[in-house]
Amino acid sequence: MNWDWNVVNDFMPRFWDGVLVTVQALAVGSLIAFALGLVWALAQRSARVWVRWPVVAVTEFVRNTPLLVQLFFLFYVVPNFGPSMSPLATGIVGLGLHYSTYTAEVYRAGIDGVPAGQWEAATALSLPRGRTWRAVILPQAIRRVVPPLGNYVIAMLKDSPMIATIGAFDMLGEAQTFSNETFTTEALTVVGVAFIVIAYPASLLIRVLERRLVR
């Protein structure tokens, strides 16, 4: 096997296009996952059974089924009776939805980790419900959830190439089409290395955050 740097050079412009798409998917997907996860977590604590139970069922189902099949479902089935979206949009929604079920667990653990005394103090001060959450519980829970949330962003990065299977041109999608056009494989190797190069410093960063925030 001979490695050809010229091939790598030819691939570079498209590689950066792919990086851009991956970063977009990751950024918007994370936002969806963070927001939706909090919604799930709060709904799971609801006093009403008809809110709690369906949310638990849906999140369990989504968490225990493959993201790949969920992407196919969103891309091929949902348009039959709902909105049809571009591959990238579908991928973002899929990533966000899938990981929101994980972040929900993170928030749940974070909220459970707030000492009971804090709840009691809020009750003693007769703070209204909304105020209790916004001013007492969530600020304390957030510190604990930042590092695990970061870990899920990295996990999402590693799952993001799946959106290439429904036709989005992320790093893998670009590498695949480039390889098919030129009958080379350097592009795939470049993308593989790129993942490690991005993920490793990111995981170091999370470890630093962990030391700083969780005490």
Partner 1 sequence: MMSSEFFTIWFLPGVWITVQVTLYAAVLGAAVSFGIGLARDSRLWIVRFAAGAYFEVFRGMSALVLMFWMFFALPLFGWQLEPMWAGVSALGLTYGAYGSEIVRGSLAAVPTAQKEAGVALDFTRWQRLRLIELPQAWPDMVPPFNNLLIELLKGTALVSVITVADMTFAGNLLRLGTNQTTPIYTLLLALYFVLAFVITRGMRMLERRAKAGIGERPEKSGGIGAKTGARGDGPRAGSRSAGGVR
Name the CA radius of gyration of the chain, rounded: 21
Which one of 70, 100, 101, 103 is in contact with partner 1 (CB under 8 A)? Answer: 70
Q: Which residue has the tokens 């592009």?
A: 187
Q: Which residue has the tokens 């949310």?
A: 55
Which one of 4, 39, 112, 113 is in contact with partner 1 (CB under 8 A)? Answer: 112
In whole angstroms, what is the distance from residue 174 CA to residue 90 CA? Answer: 18
Stretch that binds partner 1, among 83-91, 126-134, 141-149, 184-192 (CB under 8 A): 184-192
Decide if residue 119 touches partner 1 (CB under 8 A): no
Which residues make Cβ contacts (< 8 Å) with residue 28, sequence separation at least 6? 92, 96
Decide if residue 53 touches partner 1 (CB under 8 A): no
Q: Which is nearer to partner 1, 32 or 187 (CB)?
A: 187
Q: Which is nearer to partner 1, 72 or 133 (CB)?
A: 72
Question: Is 182 in contact with 51 (CB distance < 8 Å)?
Answer: no
Which one of 46, 142, 203, 214 is in contact with partner 1 (CB under 8 A)? Answer: 203
Angle between helices 186-213 and 138-159 (to 10 degrees): 170
Which residues make Cβ contacts (< 8 Å) with residue 196, sequence separation at least 6? none
Residues that bind partner 1 (CB under 8 A): 1, 61, 64-70, 72-73, 76-77, 80, 112, 157-162, 165, 172, 176, 179, 185, 188-189, 191-192, 195-196, 198-200, 203
